[in-house]
Amino acid sequence: MTHHESVLLKESIEYLAVQSGGRYVDATFGAGGHSKLIASKLKTGMVYGFDQDEDAINGFEGQPNITVIRSNFRFIRNFLRFYNALPVDGILADLGISSHHIETPERGFSFRFDAPLDMRMNNASELNARQVVNEYSVEELTRIFRTYGESDQAWKIANAIAKSRSIKPINSTFDLASILQSFARPGRENSLLAQIFQAIRIEVNREMEALEEFLQHSYTCLKPGGRLVVISYHSLEDRMVKNFFKEQKSHDAFAETIMGRKDMKWKDISRGAIVPPEEEIARNPRSRSAKLRVGEKI
Distances (CA, A) of 92 to 11, 16, 80, 176, 179: 12, 7, 14, 34, 38
pLDDT digits (tens, 9 = 90+) for 237-295: 999 999 999 988 866 666 566 656 678 999 999 999 999 999 999 998 889 999 999 99
Question: In degrees, to the nearest 5, what angle opens at C-alpha 208 toward C-alphas 202 and 210?
Answer: 105
CB 211 within 8 A of CB 237: yes
Run of H or E residues at 296: strand 291-297
Question: What does 220-278 look like in DSSP terms, one character per residue?
Answer: HHEEEEEEEEEEE-SHHHHHHHHHHHT-BS---HIIIIIS----BSEEESSSS-B---H
Interior/surface letters 57-69, b for 16+ CB within 10 angstroms, e for the rest: bebbeeeebbbbb
- The per-residue pLDDT for 2 is 46
* Number of residues that make up the chain: 298
The Cα 264–Cα 112 span in angstroms is 45
Interior/surface letters 148-163, b for 16+ CB within 10 angstroms, e for the rest: bbebebbbebbebbee
Q: How confident is the prediction for the chain on average, in pLDDT?
A: 93
The Cα 294–Cα 229 span in angstroms is 5
The Cα 211–Cα 206 span in angstroms is 9
Share of the chain above pLDDT 70, in %: 95
- The per-residue pLDDT for 255 is 55
Run of H or E residues at 295: strand 291-297
Taken in order of first residue, the domains within the chain and their CATH numbers are 9-94+207-297 (3.40.50.150), 104-205 (1.10.150.170)
Angle between helical axes of 154-165 and 173-180 (0-180°, round to 10): 130
78: buried, middle or exposed (CB in 10 Å: 19+, 13-18, 0-12)?
exposed
Cis peptide before 87 (omega within 30 of 0): yes
Q: How far does Cα 23 stand from its chain's mean position?
A: 22
The Cα 174–Cα 294 span in angstroms is 39
The Cα 93–Cα 27 span in angstroms is 5
- The per-residue pLDDT for 261 is 65
Q: What is the value of pTM for the model shown?
A: 0.91
- The per-residue pLDDT for 1 is 45
pLDDT digits (tens, 9 = 90+) for 120-169: 999 899 999 999 999 999 999 999 999 999 999 999 999 999 999 999 99
Label residue 189 left, alpha or beta by phi (over 0 means left) and psi (-120 to 50 means alpha).
Answer: alpha
Q: What is the largest CA-CA distance in the chain?
A: 65
3 state DSSP class of 113: coil
**Better-scored residue on pLDDT, 286 or 208:** 208
